[in-house]
Structure 1
Amino acid sequence: MEFVQSTFLYALAGLAVPVIIHLIFRWQTRRVDLGTTRFLAELLRETARRRKVKRWLLLALRMACVALLALLFARPYLLAQRPGNEERLLVFLIDRSAGMALAPDGVRLVDAAVERVQQLVQEAGESSIVEAAFFDTSVEPILTDGREREAAFNGLKAPQQLWKGTSYGAAMSWARDICLKSSASARDVYVFTDLQRAGLDWTDAAPFPEGVRVRIEDLGRDVGNNVAMLRAVPAKTLLRPGQGTTISVTLFNFGEFSHSDTPVVLSLHNGARTVRLQDKASLRPGEATEVEFELGGVDTGLWEGTVAVDIEDDLRFDNVRHLALLSAPPQRCLIVDGSESEEGGIPETWFLERALRLAASGESSETSPFRTEVCRLESQSLPALDQFELVVLANAAQLSPTEAERLAKFVRAGGGLLVFTGENVTAEGCRSLAGAGLTPGEIRGIARTHDLPLRWERWDDRHLTLTPFNDPQNGDLTRLGFQAFTEVSPAPDTKVLAWFGDDEPALTEHRLGNGRVLWFLSSCSRAWGDWARSRLFLPLVHQLLGDLAQLTGGGPIQTRDIDEFTPALAAVMSDAAWNERLSKPGVTAIDQRWYVTNVNPRESDTDRCTPEEFADRFRFEWSDEAGRQGGLATATGPRGTETRRDEVWSWVACLLIGVLGLEWMLS
């Protein structure tokens, strides 16, 4: 028996734990015989013997549980010889990372790799099984059924554009899995790559099965002239109209030659309006150079463009980086106060307005991302909504059906709605809001407490609104105290973001058209608790409205590498969707955010590893003789037999469950 993860066998040292516990329970106080219990001596001795046997059985079962748990994680397997077929498995891995666009002889490396694979497939016999895949940071299989081989490989073409980085670990793991599933008597893996060293550090991989031969076809060339732009980062991506910023650019000379007075050009455009700035940089071999552009005030709108270094070198994909800036005024926010009276002279929205304004009444702060306007809900009517991006309802539910539909139209057009509840928010009072699709579900009533305050017990720590509070230094949301909250039964399309005790929703989110609606199921005043005076009130309400305005998670401008999946992307689309829509450098608008995509700067590092280093990294044997062969590797070893690896972890798991059941019955 052998093990896939043998290091887990060190967990067998845990066998000492039940032994120590057993010894502790054996410690007893001194026995004293009482005359009144002597007639029970025989019964007590029999009971003591049974307890002793039971303790030893429990000790054995608990030690067996620890041992089986360690074996389960170590994944034991059995090796055996079984008759093999006469088929041969050929696995081809074609590197399609950005570095494979290098064309030293007029032919791209990736095209040369495809031609080489087509040649080897023609040499393979009919009994051979062929599996092939392109890889960069992911793996894309080319052929999954051997019967389609001729059609698949005769018309095989390499991708026209190569942008992504290199991850050898993902490709080698895929090839290893193919070899494990195959019953062929000969299994060969061919890797066509430029052996870029940066690709070795991404993903770990388990060793290949015994008998699998891995051949490396090194198509790469030493790059003697490459200047890369590693970064072009604005100091701020969200500007106010007329405000400027600084754009920092980092260049690195990976080549062997110096370059003086190399032009670096910043180009931005907003419709017909353009901005063009130019600077020069001197680049010495193996050194980085910093360039800064001072961008003056820009007009309102999205400014997108590039920073490019004007130089002729071997790799052109890393000579330019995209960037974007958004110049926009603060978000206009309408706060609707639905309270009928002002208790103690303080309106319902007094704390909320000052938290958003970041200034006293009648004043404003340049640092606030919001410009607020407060109105009282009178005659069940709202002001014109087309001049606002955000609306807050504070204890305001008594809207007429016409006004509720106006508000729903505002949300469907992309507006954001935040609702704070209160005494006025009841099932009857919210009938118009529910008819317009603005409620999170069925409103059941109001839950109150008269002793200990109600608190948030848990929340969605991956939602962009609440992720800053995962760090306790930013505030502990469990410290928020409430005396009452609105009870809601969420609809199927409503997402609960935070919970009180007994899984009662505290914060919900649902979509309506292009906009979103957040319900904070308590009051924003002191009527239902003192949380409005806590230190968490200001950052939390800013996060709630900021998320509706796409200001959280890095803001409306999201900068990412082409193979990076950001939290903001995870909130709006699946892996497959972003891989399709953001598959090349540029600026893409998705769900009121702009994603600036660039090539991963790791791909600009032209340092190459040796085949020996590659083999050592992925734990397979490599010989120089195999690397120099021009055609298919000759099959060696006995035909008709093969090594089979049968994992037995499932049986270990069943045995562990049985032992746990016995231990439970005995204890």
Structure 2
Amino acid sequence: MINFLAPSALFGLALLAIPLAIHLFQPRKVRHTPFSSLRWLFQTEQRLARRIKWHQILLLLIRAAFVTVIVLALARPQYYGGGKAEVVERFIVLDTSRSMAYRTADQKTPLETGREFVSELIMRSRAGDRTAVLLTNSRTQILTSLTDDLESALPAVERATTGIAGTDLNTALATVQSMLPQCREDARIKLYFVTDNHQQSWSPAEVQAFVTDAKRPVQVQIIQVGVMSPRNAWIADAQVRPGGAEGQTTVVVDIACSGEGDQRRQLHIGDSSEPVDLKPGGSRRVTFSIPSIDDPKKEIIEIRLEPPDSLPEDDVMYVDLSSGGGLRVLLVEQATSRVPSLRPGFHVNVAMEALSRRTGNISVTMKSPGNLIPADILDAEVIILADVASLTDATLSALEARVKAGAGLAVFLGPSVNREFYNTGMHDPLHPQDSLLPLPLAPVGEPAGGRPVSLKNIDWTHELFAGLLDPKLGDISVARVKRFYTFNANAINASQVLAWIEDDVPAVIEHALGPGRILIFNMTANDTWSDLPRRNSFIPLIDRILTFLGSARARQFTADETVVVVLPSVNEGEAIVVEGPDGTPVQSTINTVNGRTFVRLDNISQAGVFHIIPGGDTSRAVPLIIRPGLSDSIPTPIDTELLGSWWAPADFSVVNADRELEQLSKTTHLALSPWLICLACLLFLAEMYLVHRLCPRLNPAVTTMLVSHESNQSSETLHRTVNHSS
């Protein structure tokens, strides 16, 4: 069976009209040469004309064959043995996230192996098959929609490079889902995911939703291209703490480690360094005391781990020393009891008091919804709602405006919540991404069987949980939840879920509203619905929550998210330029709303310190710190059986890329283009030979030979005639 990789090139067969037109319509020019007598050349002229006509037909056939062979070669025909096969609609997803650049000595990176596999798979497309090629990291790019012409996809695949964003294969599922209606009814659907397939790549709810919504059988094959036992260490977090010795600044750095075997690294910050011993699956906190810096241009310092490992991007982190000022926190709790220990926000308040005594950089204001005024909200940098039933229109408007201006918001749900208020006042069904609540609340539910369940599928690489895998403090995964709000499974965006209670019930949801960050906790802030507030990890978790929600003021973001920054003061009409870490301009979107100037950055491809420069005045430059996506910092492959249970009942398999390439090489497959090019060369040489040897214009010897031969025959005839007359 023969298939063409570039069938559109067959339109070039129309070029066959060119040699045909030349032979049919080329004007015949007759050149007259005077002779003393043409009597004896009459027969020669007739026979010569017949020979020229035969020569022209032969040249026409050779030239037409040459054009045909060249066009067929450009169409890149492939021969496959085994006869006619079932028609397949294929979706090839190539992972281009940061972990695909994992490099070990004398080995290819996962991306290099993946590119080879995808190219080979494209080359082996069968007649009738259609293929779509997608590149994905935290976002998905469509290289080609379903087509049987993959000529343009090969160069794009070969040029594919890794970025600094983390892996989120769920975005590819959403893209493939939107393309399934284009599939033919009689075709089989097959998905190839070419990835290192690590633990943070998938979400069970998203996978199961895809299988359910596909509404037809789907064959899924994971092409494993990653290292089987990867190891990595990374800087999980760094915070500036006030209250150090005079002239000194305290910086607390958290380092995490994954993989097999202990690691010993050197941690550097400024001119200081300290050796660090790391255990797999654990974390280490290191505290530095460095000289304070008064120069605003030098307030951002670099922290790095040496020597660099196989994923060096997360071995470097930048910290703004000016971000260590007191964080203003507003805690709003429902007045459910006069006993302080029974109030919804009691455990959160105790945790913040402990953190404030240790760091001295947290200022907490407590309010109830009844005595809350808009000024309280507008003055806060982080707002925490603990089981709040509802808010007045004025405070709700102030809350939305404050978050859109860059404040952080944490919402702990609970039994006092007015579901109607949350679903109508805080959620907009037409624009959920522009709402404080990204999805509506369904009724309160309990785990199956009525027994409390533990949190699962926690995103340990997210900065909210990074470093909480400590053997002593890392007990979040065993926290028990006994009640929660249910959600419409179709409305859940799995990429926003940081932890799950059940496969379709999120525990923690991350949401962005402009430059502000929002965390939704599907549990109470006290121990009414879960025992998390009584766990050892609760105080460190509150510390992470405050750091994460307050990071907008420090202008620290990750490459996985869309960056939105509010500039403090910009004159009307001023040009704003964003420079990357290397000093080159970066594409940005500038908007002014209600007198505030917003700078938006999408698809960030570099990590480091960016600068937003208004009016070309570098003295007014606003620094912006971008970190690589940390979801790829744990590149350990996911358990195959667990992933297979998520994909059930789909036909699912995980195969090694090298073995699959070996299997592909055993199939009868022959690229015909090189042979066709050789045939075209032979036809070209034959055409040149015929033109030179048989064309009277280029080879006058042909005419001379014929004239001489006919003259001799004519002389013999004349001689016989004369003798007969005699």
TM range (shorter): 0.3 to 0.5
Query: Looking at CA atoms only, which structure, 1 or 2, has the larger radius of gyration?
Result: 2
**Greater share of helix:** 2
